[in-house]
Amino acid sequence: MEENKKEHSDSKDVDENKLIAAIGYIWILCLVPLLLKRDSKYAQFHGKQGLVLFIVEIIGWLVYWIPLVGWFFMVLLLVFAIIGFIKALSGEYWEMPVIGGFAKKLNL
């Protein structure tokens, strides 16, 4: 965790791109940081996580119709999106469990 903070310590990048990075957690708007802020590591980090989260949410709609399990899954994804939004606005690199691993593998 501490290593992750050292690796991403460009505070100017973070300060300038907090809002754009946070927008990346709002459904299809994950494309905003991915397309408009290609030079920002911070916006790209959160945009990639937002993209993976969006894809999982689309798949989640199929599971949603299963009572309790589907509802729990969708609430969990909503919580991830809210936490990601808040962390991005506060200037933190937060790697989501499971989703963050897939986002790291994206080469966009």
pLDDT in tens, 18-31: 788 888 888 888 78
Residue 50 above 50 pLDDT?
yes
- Position 9 scores a pLDDT of 53
Distance CA 74, CA 56 (A): 10
Residue owning tokens 């973070």: 14
What is the secondary structure of the chain as a DSSP string? -HHHHHHT--HHHHHHHHHHHHHTTSGGGGHHHHHH-TT-HHHHHHHHHHHHHHHHHHHHHHHTTSTTHHHHHHHHHHHHHHHHHHHHHTT---PPTTHHHHHHH---
Q: What pLDDT digit, counting tens, does each position of 69-99 carry?
A: 778 888 888 899 999 899 888 888 888 888 7
Residue 11: which domain range?
A: 2-105
pTM here is 0.77
Q: How many domains is the chain partitioned into structurally? A: 1
